[in-house]
Amino acid sequence: GAGVSQSPSNKVTEKGKDVELRCDPISGHTALYWYRQSLGQGLEFLIYFQGNSAPDKSGLPSDRFSAERTGGSVSTLTIQRTQQEDSAVYLCASSLDYGALGGTQYFGPGTRLLVL
């Protein structure tokens, strides 16, 4: 596609439910990143994929958060047993290659998650 796409654009869920957020990166981009932006905060790094592997999961806030990437393309971020503090905008980005100078990160429009 022309850019990074994410779905759904908005998600309202009840506390305790599981949610899945999807990211379609730019075609050909090998690196994929997940961030979240809580109210009044900057973008917080969650996890990074190079191909289908995630060398760095250090940003995931708890073991309720997991992510996978298949076929070197689509990625899914799953939040189990959601809590109200999980409410945020979840942003996905992709870049052509790995590393700081491996390419600018291009962001999707985000998924706005609200946990009631």
Partner 1 sequence: DQQVKQNSPSLSVQEGRISILNCDYTNSMFDYFLWYKKYPAEGPTFLISISSIKDKNEDGRFTVFLNKSAKHLSLHIVPSQPGDSAVYFCAAIPSGTYKYIFGTGTRLKVLA
The least distance separating partner 1 from the CB of residue 45, rounded to whole angstroms, comes to: 5
**Whole-angstrom distance, CA of residue 22 vs CA of residue 112:** 12
**Whole-angstrom distance, CA of residue 84 vs CA of residue 92:** 21
Q: Residues interacting with partner 1, by CB under 8 A?
A: 4, 9, 31, 33, 35, 40-45, 48, 56, 91, 93, 98-102, 104-110
**Whole-angstrom distance, CA of residue 66 vs CA of residue 36:** 14
The least distance separating partner 1 from the CB of residue 105, rounded to whole angstroms, comes to: 6
The least distance separating partner 1 from the CB of residue 72, rounded to whole angstroms, comes to: 17
User: Please, which residue, 2 or 100, has the CB nearer to partner 1?
Assistant: 100
Q: Which residues contact 9 (CB under 8 A, 6 or more apart)?
A: 109, 110, 111, 112
The least distance separating partner 1 from the CB of residue 16, rounded to whole angstroms, comes to: 28
User: Please, which residue, 15 or 57, has the CB nearer to partner 1?
Assistant: 57
User: Please, which residue, 14 or 58, has the CB nearer to partner 1?
Assistant: 58
Query: Can you say whether the dihedral through the CA atoms of 69, 58, 16, 4 is positive or negative?
Result: negative
User: Please, which residue, 2 or 14, has the CB nearer to partner 1?
Assistant: 2
